[in-house]
Each structure stands twice: as C-alpha cells, then as structure tokens.
Amino acid sequence: MTVMTQAPARPQSGSTFESLNPATGEVVGTHPVQTAEEVQAAVARAREEAAWWGGLSFGERKTHLNAWKTSMTQRLPELAELMRLEMGKPVGDAMLEAGLAMEHVSWAAGHAGRVLGRRRVSPGLMMVNQSASVAFKPLGVVGVIGPWNYPVFTPLGSVAYALAAGNAVVFKPSEHTPGVGAWMVQAFQDAVGRPVLQLVTGLGATGAALCRAGVDKVAFTGSTATGKKVMAACAETLTPVVIEAGGKDSVIVDADADVEAAADAALWGACSNAGQTCIGVERVYVHEKVYDEFLSTITAKAAVLRADRDGKIGPITMPSQVGVIRSHVQDALDHGGRAVVGGIDAVGERFVQPTILVDVPEDSLAVQEETFGPTMTIAKVRTMDEAIEKTNATRYGLGNTVFSKVNGMAIAERVRSGMSAVNGVISFAGIPSLPFGGVGDSGFGRIHGPEGLKEFTYAKAIARQRFKPMINLTSFDRTAKADKQLAQVIGLLHGRAKKR
C-alpha cells in the first residue's frame, strides 16, 4: 500500500485504483481492480473454506470470531486512523463506530448456537407420533458489498453474522474505503489463519462480478439505484439478496417532548458523519406548541458547529455527492424554503457546513430524496397524526426517531420504518439483538439480531417418527374405515362438516 502522496483526482490505471483522503485529495493507498475471473477464483477459495468452517461447532466458530475481534480491538486506534484517512470522519467517531461493530461481532458469535441450532417444535395433534425439529444451516458462500460511509460497522453487520452462521464470505469494500476492508480481512487471517473471509477490491464492476460469481447470497448496502442493479444481476442465477439501501429518516417532536434533548439528538443525527448516514436525520416534524422553542434551540446549537479538517464534522467523502447536496438545497430555496442556518454558500468544495431549512414544500428534493449531507428540513405540524402522515409519505422506510414523554411508543408503532428510536437517536443500531433493515425503497431483509443470523441460513426441517400412527394416512393401504376415523378427528379438531 502506498501512503500519502499527492494526487489530483481518483486515478485508475487498468489494474489498480487509488483510495483518496477526501479532506485533502491525497492518495491513501493503491489497490487492485479485480477482474471477474479473479472474483470467481476468490469465491472458489471461499467455497473450499466454507466446507471446513461450516463443519465446525458453534463453539469453535465463536472462539475464532472472538480471536478476530480481539485482534481488531487491540489495534483499534490504527483502524480508526485509517478510517479517518479514507473516509474523512473524525477519529473519535471512527472509534465509536468500530467499538459498536465489535459489539456485533461478539453478539453474533455468542448467540449463533442458540438462535440457529436444532430445536424441537410441536408436531400438532394430527402428527403426534412425530418428533419435529428445525435447524438453520449455512448457505455456503456469502458475497458482501459494502459502503464507504460506515466502512467497519456496516459491512461487519453482514460479515460477522454470515460467518457466525457458518458461511465463508467474499467481501467487496467500496472503492472509497478499500484499505479499511483489507485491514479487517487481514486481521481475520492473522487471528484465524485460514482465508474464510476473502477480500476482492475494485470499482462497481467488481461488485457486479461478485453478484454473478456463484455466491449463495449477496448482502448489499448502498444506494437504492445500485441495489436494483444488484438484484437484477442476482436474478440471473436466482441468488437471494439482502438490500440495505437509503433512507429519509425523520425526527418527530411531540408537544410534551424534552425539547433540548430532541434538538441535540436531531442535530447530531443530521450532521454527524457529515450527514452520510443511512439512518441519519434528514427531516424534522415538530408540534406547533414547541416549534419556536425547538427551532431556536437547534439553530443556536448548529451555529457553533463547523465542518473542517479538525472539527466535529469531516468532509464529504464522495466528491460527486457535493453536487447532490447543493441541488437539494437549491431546489428547496427555489420553492420557497429558507435557510435558518447555512444555505447554498455552506456547500463548499469538500466540506459542507450544517444547513437547516424551513418552509420547504413536502414534494421537494430535500424532503423526498436522500441528501446524504449535514442538512435537515424542519416543519411545523398541528398534530402527531400529521407528523406521522408526512413521515410516511416518502418511498423510504428505514429508521425514525420520536421525542415524546407520553406517546413515544404509540407514535413509533405507526411509523412505516424498519426501526424507530424513542427519546434517543439511532440507538437501535447499537443494540445487537435488534434486527436492522427497512421497507420500501430502503430495501428488505435484515442484518443484526436473530433475524440477521437467520438471513444467512436456510431452515432445515426434520420430522422423525417416534411410533407408528394409529391410522396410517400416507399409505395406499388406507381403508374406508380409516377415512371415516380421519373425518371424525378433523371434525373434533376443527369443527364438524355441515350436514346437507
């Protein structure tokens, strides 16, 4: 890996590409652009490893996964610095992200046996002579296509759960954060000594090749548009997919909310990670009774927040994203919106300053489309019904936050999203036992929690006869008398047939 030489843009020779520091444009590292053949070779190697890994007990895999976790944890500052260099986030935020990811590795490793191991289920009265059980078996090789915005936490949400379930994994990190991906895969190799977790690097075409390389499932995190391409490629071979796509999450603030806490959470949810968070806050709906208080509190907090090289907000990772953010802010202003903090001049070349927009029409880009910058719209609502209706009026349905002392749970239940936080923000992502994922254009399938373990398995049902049945139903020797007895049993269990 080459470290820190000057380069103007993302250079790419035929077989390598460079990851760049988004704050400065300096080269952080050089990585291979892997071809379809190389991706297939990685999948073939992973398949050999899957035979060994899938044959281990849950306890043995737990030992290996915990060794991997320890090897990463012991060098967390090194990982955090690499995250800062490639992605731009402050080191403190990188440590938080990596620390939360370790929680997930630990949970997945520790709970896989209980969640996926064989367990008895009731056979029902009709089949009382059977012993019924179900277990969840690894699929084989899982392809993970990761994003750059949380280059440790997000891919590990799939990688760790797929591994804990007994699969080998081929991981394609984003072209913006290949060094972070390579670091985690090397740490696995160092800790486990076998290439159960393989790395492939490159641009979008390498990800597309992974979809077609014969993996047993693809876990994708990124934009909805690319998610559709991934799904189309996977459809060619009936390869199942998990899609964790974009969001347009709201914060709903009720009349009885702790306004100070709600403003603090909304600002952090919108601006941390420079707003490049799938479950980041992009919209806020505030009850009219506390709207003025909320707006003055959040604008005062936002006014002292700066995005710069040493600030609490880093640069925009993808240069092309700056144009998207600018277009959303401009569209809002063109349609009657006002910037009470920031505005169009806040959108710089690499850094975007916090921007708060009010009076923005609900059908504008800044309310409907994923902005992925440190911006938010704030709207006044008369009732919580109105807030819920507006929250639910986008194509997305990933996360959401509710601030209310009395009705938090009731409001959260009515929001069409995979996850909600009540009187906190993004809290659900840090709880490993909770499933993570969305509905609508936010994707489908779940990572994290028991659902996230099962996502990378298939259910294997077994019915074992314990003793011969009173009436043998599955035989051509079945008699008319047996049919009559069967009719009586069905009548007893489910109600008698009506007499004609």
Using CB under 6 A, list all residues that contact ligand NDP. Answer: 145-149, 172, 174-176, 203-204, 207-208, 211, 221-223, 226, 229-230, 245-246, 278, 318, 321, 324, 370, 372
Q: How far is the CB of 322 from ligand NDP (least distance, A)?
A: 10
Q: For the sheet with 119-121, list strands across it.
A: 119-121, 130-138, 457-465
CB nearer to ligand NDP: pick between 322 and 381? 322
Q: How far is the CB of 314 from ligand NDP (least distance, A)?
A: 15
CB nearer to ligand NDP: pick between 311 and 323? 323
CB nearer to ligand NDP: pick between 147 and 166? 147
The single residue of 175, 234, 278, 282 carrying the catalytic annotation is: 278
Q: How far is the CB of 208 from ligand NDP (least distance, A)?
A: 4
Which string of b and e fits 320-345 if b means at least 16 CB within 10 Å? ebbebbbebbbbbbeeebebbbbbee
CB nearer to ligand NDP: pick between 140 and 222? 222
Question: Which residues 6+ apart lie within 8 Å of 428 measured at CB?
Answer: 399, 419, 420, 421, 434, 436
Q: How far is the CB of 442 from ligand NDP (least distance, A)?
A: 8
- Return d(Cα 261, Cα 240) in angstroms, integer: 41
Contacts by residues 210-213 (CB-CB < 8 Å, ≥ 24 positions apart): 210/39, 210/43, 210/143, 210/145, 210/170, 210/172, 211/143, 211/145, 211/239, 212/36, 212/236, 212/237, 213/36, 213/39, 213/40, 213/42, 213/43, 213/143, 213/170
CB 441 within 8 A of CB 246: yes
Q: How far is the CB of 184 from ligand NDP (least distance, A)?
A: 14
Q: Indicate the pairing of strand 197-199 with strand 217-221.
A: unpaired
Q: How far is the CB of 43 from ligand NDP (least distance, A)?
A: 14
CB nearer to ligand NDP: pick between 34 and 297? 34
Question: Which residues 6+ apart lie within 8 Å of 353 measured at CB?
Answer: 306, 307, 342, 346, 347, 374
CB nearer to ligand NDP: pick between 58 and 171? 171
The single residue of 86, 175, 244, 455 carrying the catalytic annotation is: 244
DSSP code per residue over 222-247 = S-HHHHHHHHHHHHTTT--EEEE---
DSSP symbol at 288: T
- Return d(Cα 452, Cα 436) in angstroms, integer: 8
CB nearer to ligand NDP: pick between 210 and 295? 210
Q: What angle do the packed helices 91-116 and 153-164 form, to 10 degrees?
A: 20
Tell me the backbone φ, ψ of residue 460, rounded to 5 degrees.
Answer: -115, 110
Residue 278 is among the residues annotated as catalytic for this protein = yes
Q: How far is the CB of 74 from ligand NDP (least distance, A)?
A: 27
> Which residues are the active-site residues?
244, 278
